[in-house]
Amino acid sequence: MTTHFYLSLLPEALIVSMLDPEEFGTYYAVGSAKKSRGQAIFFEVDPTFRHPYFRIDEALKRCVPHEDGSPKASIYVSVYRVLEHVDIDALMDLYLTTQDGRTLGLKSSDQLPPAEEGLHLYQEIVPVSPLVVSRLDPVSFYELIVKTPTSLITVPAITFVELQLGELANDPEMGLVENLPYSNIDHLRQCLSDVKTKFVSTKMVDRTHSPVVPYRCVKNGFFVGNAEKLRYYPMPSAETLRTENYRWFRSASM
C-alpha cells in the first residue's frame, strides 16, 4: 500500500495515510465508525518532503495496515503551525471535499489570475480564519499579509480563497445580493463601503468566521503562499464542474 502525506487545512495538520486522496477525503469528511460530517480541504504533499520540525519518519513507522489488512487511515504527524514549515514546492494537488464526502482535485496553475476592478472578499483558511474585505487583488492581498506588511499584522504563510461578491463588488450599497449566501449582509455592505470610501485597504468582516468554505461561491480559486512563493489553484467554472464533476458539484451546491 502506498503511503500518502496530506496537509489538512481544516484543521491545520500534517497527516500520513494509506488512503488515496478521494478515500482520504471521504474518510476525513464523514468519519469511519461514527456518524459525523464536515468539510475537508487538504493538499497532497510530496512524499519525499522532510523538515526537522516534523517527526515524519516516526509517523511512517506507525502507519501500517490494521490487523485485518485494511489500510491505516491516518497518523497525525503534527497539528498547529504546520503550513509555515512546509515548502510550497512540496505541495501537490489541492483537494476539496464536501461535507458528505465527495472530493474534487485541483491542480495548481503557473499563471495567477489577472487583477480585476472592484472590491474583493477573502476568506482566510490557515493559520487564522477571518472573513476580510479588501480593495486589493489577491496577489496584493497576499503581499500585504505575508511579504510586505504595512502594519503589525503578518503571518509567515497563508492559505486563502477569494469569494464572489457579485454586484456588491462595484456597488456595495445598492448591488443585488442574488445568490450570495453570506449572513449579515448589511454588515458586509457596510464593510465594503468602508474600504471603498475610507483610507483602509482591508477590513475584517467577521473575526470568528467559520473556516468552512462555501465552495459554490469561490470566485477564482485558492491561494497558498509564504515569504518565498505564492501558488494558485484555479477553480473550474460552475458549468465545467456541473458537466465533469456533477456529483461533487451537487453536494457543493447544497
Partner 1 sequence: MNYTTWIYIGIVGGVISIGVAIYLYFWVMRQNKGSEKAQEVSSWIRSGANTYLRRLYTALAILAVIIGVIIALIFSFNFENIGTTGIVVDPKNGIQMAISFVVGALCSAVAGYMGMRVAVEANVRTATAAEQSLESAFRISFYAGSVLGLAMVGLAVIGMSVIFLVTGQAHAVLGFSFGASTLALLAKAGGGIYTKTADIAADLVGKVEIGIPEDDPRNPAVVADNVGDNVGDVAGMGADIFDSYVASTVAVMLLGASFAETLQYQYTVIPLILCTLGVFASLLGIQFVRVREGGKPGAALNRGTIITCIIYIAMLLVLVFLGHVNMAIFWSAFVGIVAGVLIGFTSDYFTNDQHKPVQQTAKESTSGSAITIITGFSYGLISILPSILGVVIATLISFNVTQASGLPGVYGIGVAAVGMLAISGMIVSADAYGPIVDNARGIAEMAGMDHEVIARADVLDSAGNTAKAITKGFSISAAALTVLALFAAYAEVVEANGMAITISLREPLVVAGVLLGATAPPIFSALLMLSVTHNAFDMIEEIRRQFREKPGILAGTEMPDYDRCVGLAAQGALSSLVLPTFLAVGLPLLVGFVLGPDALGGFLGGAIFTGVIFALFMANAGGLWDNAKKYIESGKFGGPGSEAHKAAVVGDTVGDPFKDTAGPSINTLITVMSLVSSLFAPIIAVFHLF
**What is the number of alpha carbons within 13 Å of residue 46 lying toward its C-beta?**
10
CB of 167 to partner 1, least distance (A): 13
CB of 113 to partner 1, least distance (A): 23
Nearer Cβ to partner 1, position 211 or 225? 211
CB of 217 to partner 1, least distance (A): 9
Size of the residue set binding partner 1 (CB under 8 A): 32
Return the range that interacts with partner 1 (CB under 8 A); candidates 50-58, 80-88, 148-156, 242-250: 242-250
* Largest CA-CA distance found in the chain, in angstroms, rounded: 63
- Residue 214: count of CB within 10 angstroms of its CB: 17
- Residue 245: count of CB within 10 angstroms of its CB: 17
- Residue 47: count of CB within 10 angstroms of its CB: 15
Return the range that interacts with partner 1 (CB under 8 A); candidates 52-60, 129-137, 172-180, 223-231: 172-180
Nearer Cβ to partner 1, position 39 or 78? 39
Return the range that interacts with partner 1 (CB under 8 A); candidates 10-18, 41-49, 139-147, 182-190: 182-190
Given 17, 74, 98, 220, the residue binding partner 1 (CB under 8 A): 98
The length of the chain is 254
* Residue 220 backbone class (left: φ over 0; alpha: ψ -120 to 50; beta: rest): alpha
Given 179, 207, 228, 240, the residue binding partner 1 (CB under 8 A): 179
Would you count residue 170 as binding partner 1 (CB under 8 A)? no
Would you count residue 187 as binding partner 1 (CB under 8 A)? no
Residue 146 amino acid letter: V
Show Cβ contacts of residue 41 under 8 Å, excluding neighbours closer than 6 positions: 8, 9, 10, 94, 95, 96, 97, 125, 213, 222
Cα 138 from Cα 116, distance rounded (Å)? 10
Would you count residue 71 as binding partner 1 (CB under 8 A)? no
Return the range that interacts with partner 1 (CB under 8 A); candidates 46-54, 83-91, 116-124, 180-188: 180-188
All 3 cell numbers of residue 144?
500585504
Locate cell 510586505: which residue? 148
Residues that bind partner 1 (CB under 8 A): 23, 26-27, 30-35, 37, 98-101, 177-183, 185, 214, 216, 242-243, 246-247, 250-251, 253-254
